[in-house]
Amino acid sequence: MTSPTNPVIAGFHPDPSVCRVGEDYYLACSSFEYFPGVPIFHSRDLVHWTQIGNALDRPSQLRLPAGTASSGGIYAPTLRHHDGRFWIVTTNVSGDGNLLVTATDPAGPWSEPIALPGVVGIDPDLAWDDDGACWCTFAGVSQVRIDPHTGICLGEPRRIWSGTPGAKAPEAPHLYRIGGFWYLLLAEGGTERGHAVSVARGPSPAGPFEPCPRNPILTHRGTDRPIQNTGHADLVQAPDGSWWMVLLGVRPHGGTPGWHVLGRETFLTPLRWVDGWPVAGDVSLEAPAPPWPLTVAAAEPVRDDFDRADLHPRWISLRVRTPEHCTTGDRPGWLTLRARGGSLDDLDVTFVGRRQQDRYCRVRTAVDASGGRGGLAVRLDERHHYAIELADGEARVVARIGPLRTVVAARAVPGGPVVLGADTVAYEGAQDSRSGPDCVSLGLARPDGSLDALATLDGRYLSTEVAGGFTGRVIGMYAEHGTVHFDWFDYRPAPPSSCGPS
């Protein structure tokens, strides 16, 4: 078996929170403006993870208004198991504020949300003490006791720790009872290059808390490590007594400042205890091998023929998904998308995609656009995306970069379904401070599956360092006018080919 690799969950899967039940591990991530929200993963070894569902998969659970901006929506869930149930507490920054859902099966269904109106900060955490009291700790860092069954606060929030003096954005707190102390783990320094993990401990859930003398216990700021922005961590203990940390990080590429295009990803590192304080292990591209047999998860299919009545939980849409605009029921074996009136530049576009999880990948989809206009897009947000679309017997490549939108190339195509393609490839230009992270080629698929590229575009413009925000690339299908049908969608990792500067 090959050595396990980091990230253990690749692509736009930030803010991981983990819990263990017996020999099974479960993990939840942020989802921002995408629906369904809060992807849920399962593992038996902490290294290989399989998505089993989404916690917020009904419109009644996840209300994202039409004006929800990209990088709005759902922030930083905490996943816990207590009293025979799974609990998730998270923040909808664009709608309902802090909310809590529960389930007996982490694959779902999850309950309707319980509102937490008295919890006024993001990144909420849940912890129960020996008396059964439930403590909610949130960014700031403040804390309040709550009734988790009603959402009512049982007191007034109070500040309990602010992290390292002078460090910005103390957030993502997690509270644990370990041995004779309560440990408070938090992120600080912002989620960019200065990100870090610090810890304090105290005699009770409410403190008082003393900081670890070796804070931060984990950071890659100011280093040339291939993984950067390390932070927003959570801890879990394995059945053998060992401790582990999941955290987010990014893999920047190219010249200065280094561009990350896949978003913030989930990484794994071991944890040990020295003098009553946690010491994080090395976070490298080679994941730590736990001292138990690895259980390789079944490989996810690279191709979806849309033969199921419902979509696999990996598929995500923008803000909402309704049968009226997205269905596999109209034409058996096809995904049908109906435009809601907007283009990829707008908030109300009909879009179904999956996270880009590989630096280099090859995507193909068969499209029948005889009843409308739509195609294949590589998306970061409304102002940063590349697409190849079909309409009126023509395929054209469209680029949106900030305020600029242009048709880069166009070609006549025959009637009937057309196979569109997008490849992410290595940047071959002069390797200096201006080198991009990759290139995105868009075009038509040849009979052998290779790409006849209409245009090859610089990938840096679909990066967080250019666009801002908290998400990563999502590659998928869209309809911006009329009705567009998709017969199949094929995503697979690819060896690096190369492109010149564009």
The predicted-structure confidence for 341-363, as pLDDT tens digits, reads as follows: 889 999 999 999 999 999 999 99
Rounded Cα–Cα distance for residues 266 and 284 (Å) = 12
Instruction: List the CATH code of the domain at 17-280.
Output: 2.115.10.20
Residue pair 250/283 in contact (Cβ under 8 Å)? The answer is: no
pLDDT of residue 501: 44
pLDDT of residue 161: 95
Work out the average pLDDT over 258-279. 97
Please report which helix (H) or strand (E) contains residue 456, including its range: strand 451-458
For residue 140, give the nearest of 168, 113, 112 by alpha carbon: 168
Query: Could you tell me the residue ranges of all domains in the chain?
Result: 17-280, 303-499
Q: At 402, list the tokens.
A: 């900030």
pLDDT of residue 1: 46
Main-chain dihedrals φ then ψ at residue 348, nearest 5 degrees? -110, 25
Question: 15, 125, 381, 382: which one is catalytic?
Answer: 15
Active site (annotated) includes residue 428: no
User: What fold, for 303-499?
Assistant: Jelly Rolls (2.60.120)
Whether the per-residue pLDDT at 502 is higher than 70: the answer is no
Rounded Cα–Cα distance for residues 35 and 81 (Å) = 24
Active site (annotated) includes residue 15: yes
Amino acid at 474: V
Q: pTM (2 decimals)?
A: 0.96
The predicted-structure confidence for 280-334, as pLDDT tens digits, reads as follows: 999 999 988 888 888 876 677 789 999 999 999 999 999 999 999 999 999 999 9
Banded model confidence at residue 428, pLDDT cuts 50, 70, 90: confident
Rounded Cα–Cα distance for residues 494 and 488 (Å) = 19
Question: 33, 171, 304, 389: which one is catalytic?
Answer: 171
The predicted-structure confidence for 470-501, as pLDDT tens digits, reads as follows: 999 999 999 999 999 999 999 999 887 755 54
Q: Concatenated DSSP letters for 330-359?
A: SSTT-EEEE--S--TTSTT-EEEEEE--SS
Q: At 105, list the tokens.
A: 């099966």
Measured from the Cβ of residue 322, the count of other Cβ atoms closer than 10 Å reads 13
